[in-house]
Amino acid sequence: MPLASLAQGYRAVVLGASGGIGTAIAGELRSDPNCLQLVTLSRRENGFDITDEKSVVAAAAEAADGLHLVFCATGGLVVDGVGPEKSLKQVDPRVMMRQFALNSIGPALVLKHFAPKLARNERSIFAFLSARVGSIGDNRLGGWISYRASKAALNQIVRTASVELRRTHPRAVVVALHPGTVATKMTADYSTHHRQLDPSESACAMFQVIDGLTAENTGGFFAYDGLPVEW
């Protein structure tokens, strides 16, 4: 079972469920007999737009109370057809704002409106797809300024939200995850020098990681292999 640590008949929501990794995450949950209810949201399937607060509010209103898992698998490396910058001179404020809207502000809105839906007296997990390139301490190559910065912002959002949620949901785990270099359309042109994981391989690995985390790990940043990633 993907998540043996959750309550029998747990309720789950996957945002970004039509992307490469999101599809794999939703597929694994559908195969889990312990998952009583699964809601999948995406722009392609039902018009869900993480950058539009009205869309997030409507989605949260439709979700059941007492959620045990919210997995935010949204994000983008190429926005409006523009890929990551190779140098400072390529920084475009419009593209950077779109990166932040998708990779940072959107997840913050998800936390704002879905956190109240989490189960209060049972274990729950709120997971967000981040990226190792969002690590400030691990940045030795430079480049990709907008994407790196937007993921670093996401990590801070996750960390800050975990502190607040610890007070109201003491059994909740709020976590940022590096999924590895996954073979998807998003990474097809940018991962030639890295070992690529199949989306289902990445999804299963991340489930194994979060299944083993405790409330003491809330606010952390972990890779698909279970190792913590430096901020």
Do the beta carbons of residue 88 and residue 70 sit within 8 Å? no
Q: How far apart are CA 148 and CA 142, in angstroms?
A: 9
To which H or E segment does residue 57 belong?
A: helix 53-62
**Is residue 23 in some structural domain?**
yes
Task: Tell me whether residue 231 is in a domain.
Answer: no
Q: Of the listed 10, 54, 89, 147, which one is catalytic?
A: 147
pLDDT for position 160 = 98
pLDDT by residue for the chain (231 residues), tens digit each?
Answer: 679 999 999 999 999 999 999 999 999 999 999 999 999 999 999 999 999 999 999 999 999 999 999 999 999 999 888 999 999 999 999 999 999 999 999 999 999 999 999 999 999 999 999 999 999 999 988 999 999 999 999 999 999 999 999 999 999 999 999 999 998 765 556 555 667 899 999 999 999 999 999 999 999 999 999 999 999
pLDDT the model gives residue 169 = 97
pLDDT at 191: 57
- Domain-located, residue 38: yes
The CA-based angle 216-12-118, given to 5 degrees, is 55
Which pLDDT belongs to residue 80?
Answer: 85
Residue 5 lies in a domain: no
**Helix, strand, or coil (residue 142):** coil
Q: Domain for residue 44, yes or no? A: yes
Catalytic residue among 10, 86, 89, 151, which? 151
pLDDT of residue 61: 97
- Round the CA-based radius of gyration of the chain to a whole number and report it: 17
Number of domains in the chain: 1
Domain assignment of residue 170, yes or no: yes
Would residue 117 show up in a list of annotated catalytic residues for this protein? no
Task: Examine residue 228 and state whether it is found in any structural domain, yes or no.
Answer: no
Model pLDDT, residue 188: 54
**What backbone phi and psi angles, to 5 degrees, belong to 182?**
-105, 140
- For residue 195, the model assigns a pLDDT of 75
Q: Is residue 86 part of a domain?
A: yes
Q: Residue 81 sits in which domain range?
A: 10-223
185 assigned to active site: no
CATH number of the domain at 14, please: 3.40.50.720
E strands, 7-122, are 10-15, 35-41, 69-72
